[in-house]
Amino acid sequence: MSKRNVLKIIAFLVGLYFFLEYILPEKVGGEFDSYEVGSPVCVEKDGKKLQFYVGNYYKGRGIIGRMVKSAGKWKKDQKPCLQRSLFLKFDQYGLIEPDVAVTPEGLTLLYLGQNEKEPVLCYAVSSDDGQNFRKKGPVVISTNDVFKTFENAPNGQIPDRIKSFAADYKGSSWDVYLFTMTYRVWHAAGPDLKHLTLDAQPLVSTALLEKSPNAFDVYKEGDAPVLVYVMDREIVEFRQGGGNWTPKSWKAPAGNGTNDTVYAGGRMDTSDGTLYLGTKKMQKARPIDSPYETTLCAVSLRDKGDGEPLAPEMTVYKKVGASPRPTYLSYGTEWAGKFLTVVGSFAIFIAMINLMLFHGKKIYQSALNYNAPVGEEKLPGGGAPFRNFLKNAGYSAVFLIFLAVMIVCALKGQTDEAKGTIWKTSFDFLFNAIQAPMGSAVFSMITFYMISAAYRSFKVRSLEAGFLMAAAIVCMVGQMPIGELLASLVPESWKLLQLPWLSSKLLSVLNAAAYRAVLIGTLIGSVAISLRIWLGLDNSVYSSVD
């Protein structure tokens, strides 16, 4: 195999590696919930307590993990039980707000699919064993004659956006409660999740609390629903009576730190009592060895009778400060970042050496009189006359002297301890009195040339040039205070004559549209070139090989 083909294969594998790293962060190795955990829900099936929660590998990539309680302790599964879709758009960005119910099919898990570009949709999956779930599809809510179900709105045209929901399965019937962005609660019921019917009116039509709850749940007392709103450190239950919803609240169990915030999640009745599950966000005292935001889950035990919490049973399944383990692939990104930094540092170093060699050679050659004109008087020892040296290598000498001085002064004078020393003073002087003014001077001189060029060349010789000049003048003057001054002379209603307004419209509408078109074209070209290089179709990059 030729060197060229070996390089092509390596380039392809490296490209594939980073492509996979982008699309499959939680699939290959590592912890799927290293960034954050939240929204726990619990269920009891065949005497076994199961807890499901959302684990994030990083921000906004929620997938469902599972814990099982055995011998009094919650034990976490190493792998997630339900992952986001790679190719189906509804939950491509992750899964949030799960709820779970025991059904004749086994376990049914409902969740909200997340995709920033799509509406939030409620989906359901089922499993026989509570571990391996089959993707089932959207929960279909036939609202009524007015609101129909569409392909793009499989949940039905619910008259609001869903924020959270709670589902309950009892006596071969489903009750789904949808908490919406406007704090309303809608109820839908039906024999299965494909045939739910939404009530004509919302169950709760006004906001019961001023703030949106962190979690929302519903349980039934007989046939009457009890709405559970979980706020920061507070759980509020609402019961309906006489047409009103009456609140009853109590404090959520506090954690160890006084600044912790408890975000409770699901609620369930078990043979031991009622469980409230939650997460606790540490706001302070985050240990230094934890590079990610971590939360822990707390479980509080509530007495069945009076509704007041007993001493909370805190079950930590995510240790605060535990170093998360990145995926095998993300090791590669970290490594590549460091590698490129090292390569970049070497590039600067090599450039410096190259410059030193180039100018050093020039000085050396001048000193040996290589460039001295024929017949020119030579200095004793064979050196060139000083003026020849200056002519041929003067700039090189100045460059090397200043390079050496700046390096030494920068190395010795950059730290705080160096304040007041000759190194620091020299470095500051060289920078403030030479480098910065020279930089400004060079930049300023460009302005003079620009004025000269504009004066001589910016002529209206065609209609297009006229438009260009009009746009340039409007943009230049419109963004300056002089534009504001001129605009103040024009009545407020005559927007078209106000240069700042006109200038902002030119920039944000016409300019943005045109530039976007240029960008899209350029980027399509870049993608094509990248693909050609990645797939080994472009031989130009390997031209020096073989």
Half-sphere exposure of 166 (CA within 13 A, CB side): 25
Q: How far is the CB of 18 from other proteins (least distance, A)?
A: 9
Report the C-alpha gap between 97 and 40 in whole angstroms.
Answer: 8
Copy the structure tokens of residue 1: 């195999």
Candidates 239-247, 248-256, 477-485, 527-535: pick the segment binding other proteins (CB under 8 A).
Answer: 477-485
Among 47, 104, 448, 544, binds other proteins (CB under 8 A): 448
Candidates 117-125, 162-170, 208-216, 440-448: pick the segment binding other proteins (CB under 8 A).
Answer: 440-448
Among 511, 536, 538, 541, binds other proteins (CB under 8 A): 511
Q: Does 454 bind other proteins (CB under 8 A)?
A: yes
Q: Which residues contact 101 (CB under 8 A, 6 or more apart)?
A: 43, 107, 108, 110, 167, 168, 169, 174
Q: Which residues contact 274 (CB under 8 A, 6 or more apart)?
A: 267, 268, 301, 302, 303, 304
Report the C-alpha gap between 41 and 136 in whole angstroms.
Answer: 20
Cα separation of the two ends of the chain = 11
Q: Does 321 bind other proteins (CB under 8 A)?
A: no
Among 411, 459, 529, 545, binds other proteins (CB under 8 A): 459
Candidates 2-10, 217-225, 332-340, 353-361: pick the segment binding other proteins (CB under 8 A).
Answer: 332-340
Largest CA distance in the chain: 117
Site for other proteins, residues 166 to 205, rule: CB under 8 A? none
Q: How far is the CB of 293 from other proteins (least distance, A)?
A: 5
Q: Does 521 bind other proteins (CB under 8 A)?
A: no
For other proteins, give the closer residue by CB, 333 or 425: 333
For other proteins, give the closer residue by CB, 146 or 419: 419
Q: Does 485 bind other proteins (CB under 8 A)?
A: yes
Report the C-alpha gap between 477 and 270 in whole angstroms.
Answer: 73
Q: How far is the CB of 512 from other proteins (least distance, A)?
A: 4
Report the C-alpha gap between 367 and 393 in whole angstroms.
Answer: 9
Contact (CB, 8 A) for 218 and 166? yes
Other CB atoms within 10 Å distance of the CB of residue 476: 13
Report the C-alpha gap between 66 and 49 in whole angstroms.
Answer: 11
For other proteins, give the closer residue by CB, 249 or 530: 530
**Amino acid, res. 190:** G
Site for other proteins, residues 60 to 79, rule: CB under 8 A? 60
Size of the site for other proteins (CB under 8 A): 69
Candidates 68-76, 315-323, 490-498, 499-507: pick the segment binding other proteins (CB under 8 A).
Answer: 499-507
Copy the structure tokens of residue 319: 């240790």
Among 8, 31, 33, 35, binds other proteins (CB under 8 A): 35
Report the C-alpha gap between 300 and 274 in whole angstroms.
Answer: 8
Candidates 38-46, 100-108, 240-248, 437-445: pick the segment binding other proteins (CB under 8 A).
Answer: 437-445
Q: Does 283 bind other proteins (CB under 8 A)?
A: yes
Q: Under DSSP, is residue 341 helix (H, G, I), strand (E, B) or coil?
A: helix
Q: Does 333 bind other proteins (CB under 8 A)?
A: yes
Q: Does 245 bind other proteins (CB under 8 A)?
A: no
For other proteins, give the closer residue by CB, 144 or 345: 345
Report the run of H or E that residue 76 belongs to, with start and end. strand 73-76
Burial class (CB in 10 A: 0-12, 13-18, 19+), 214: buried
Contact (CB, 8 A) for 162 and 146? no
Residues that bind other proteins (CB under 8 A): 35, 58-60, 283, 286, 288, 290-293, 330, 333-334, 336-338, 340-341, 343-345, 348, 414-416, 431, 435-440, 442-444, 447-448, 451-452, 454-456, 458-460, 469, 473, 475-477, 479-485, 488, 500, 504, 507-508, 511-513, 515-516, 519
